[in-house]
């Protein structure tokens, strides 16, 4: 029995009403490969969750324990590559870049080509021990359009990135962690989502407004030279504090004093 299109990208919140939303690419029999409708649906869900005030963190993962996303379904390649590829509303990478909330990728298996690019658009990555990142653009004659040719070299360095992309060599989870591509490697692929949820829970305990502003400062500053990035931080810090009321400063001081009395200094 074939899955309905509406079931191929699933959103869940466990427990219901949780501030952590999990988006699952749900086509495990095809290693979670993407069709055009799935791509559009993924972009729509990211956009809707970003605008939902009850959601604080997004997690992206794949169904099953073999693949996060094996890329575009090449049997439907023409509809993907010749579709309205410049429409940001139907582009999940554009929506991930625009997402104000932290996005954690739980890489539970193969992340191939488009799947690799989706992973690179996340803010934090957790990978199962058997996960592999593979760029097959050169192998199949597909020109990258979701950022792999530019992002990977900025994360792991141009020498490694050239070898990964020009040879289509697999990057194991252990290599990815050593190179700074992933934050954590867990023992089993099925545990990647649990670790991602653990990180998400740590994030939502903090000041949600500051989390959004901090993510934006890091991401926006990364594309600038250091001098300009420091100026950006300074400007946004002044704007942030200028916008705070006396009551907000008093609440901040009360919170800090409360933490200080409960937690002995480690210095």
pLDDT tens per residue across span 191-211? 999 999 999 999 999 999 999
pLDDT attached to residue 258:
75
Cα 38 from chain centroid (whole Å):
17
| Residue 139: Cβ within 10 Å count | 13
191 torsion bin: left (phi>0), alpha (psi -120 to 50), beta (else): alpha
Task: Give the pLDDT of residue 204.
Answer: 97
Question: Burial level of 263, CB count in 10 A (0-12/13-18/19+)?
Answer: exposed
Question: 43-74 burial, b for 16+ CB within 10 Å, e for fewer?
Answer: bebbbebbeeeebbbbbbbbbbbbbbbbbbbe
pLDDT at position 257 is 79
Q: Which residues of the chain have pLDDT under 50?
A: 265-267
Q: What is the distance, to the nearest Å, from the Cα of residue 225 to the centroid of all Cα atoms in its chain? A: 23
pLDDT tens-digit series, residues 87-131: 889 999 999 999 999 999 999 999 999 999 999 999 999 999 999
| pLDDT at residue 75, as a whole number | 82
Q: Checking phi first, is residue 110 left (phi over 0); if not, alpha (psi -120 to 50) or beta?
A: beta
Q: Three-state SS for 267?
A: coil
Backbone angles phi, psi at 113, to 5 degrees: 55, -105
Residue 30: Cβ within 10 Å count: 14
* pLDDT for the residue 244: 87
């Amino acid at each position: 029995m074939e899955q309905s299109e509406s079931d191929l990208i699933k959103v869940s919140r466990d427990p219901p009403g949780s501030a952590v939303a999990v988006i699952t690419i749900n086509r495990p029999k095809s290693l979670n490969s993407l069709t055009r409708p799935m791509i559009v649906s993924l972009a729509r869900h990211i956009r809707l969750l970003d605008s939902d005030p009850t959601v604080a963190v997004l997690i992206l993962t794949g169904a099953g324990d073999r693949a996060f996303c094996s890329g575009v379904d090449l049997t439907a390649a023409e509809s993907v590559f010749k579709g309205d590829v410049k429409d940001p509303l139907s582009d999940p990478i554009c929506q991930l870049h625009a997402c104000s909330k932290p996005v954690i990728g739980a890489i539970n298996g193969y992340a191939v080509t488009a799947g690799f690019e989706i992973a690179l658009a996340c803010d934090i990555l957790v990978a199962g021990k058997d996960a592999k990142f593979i760029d097959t653009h050169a192998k199949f004659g597909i020109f990258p359009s979701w950022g792999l040719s530019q992002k990977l070299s900025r994360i792991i360095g141009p020498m490694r990135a050239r070898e990964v992309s020009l040879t289509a060599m697999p990057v194991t989870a252990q290599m990815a962690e050593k190179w700074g591509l992933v934050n954590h490697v867990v023992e089993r692929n099925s545990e990647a989502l649990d670790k991602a949820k653990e990180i998400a829970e740590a994030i939502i305990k903090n000041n949600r407004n500051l989390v959004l502003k901090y993510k934006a400062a890091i991401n926006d500053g990364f594309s600038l030279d250091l001098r300009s990035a420091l100026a950006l931080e300074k400007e946004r810090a002044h704007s942030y504090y200028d916008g705070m009321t006396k009551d907000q400063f008093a609440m901040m001081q009360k919170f800090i004093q409360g933490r200080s009395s409960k937690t002995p200094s480690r210095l």
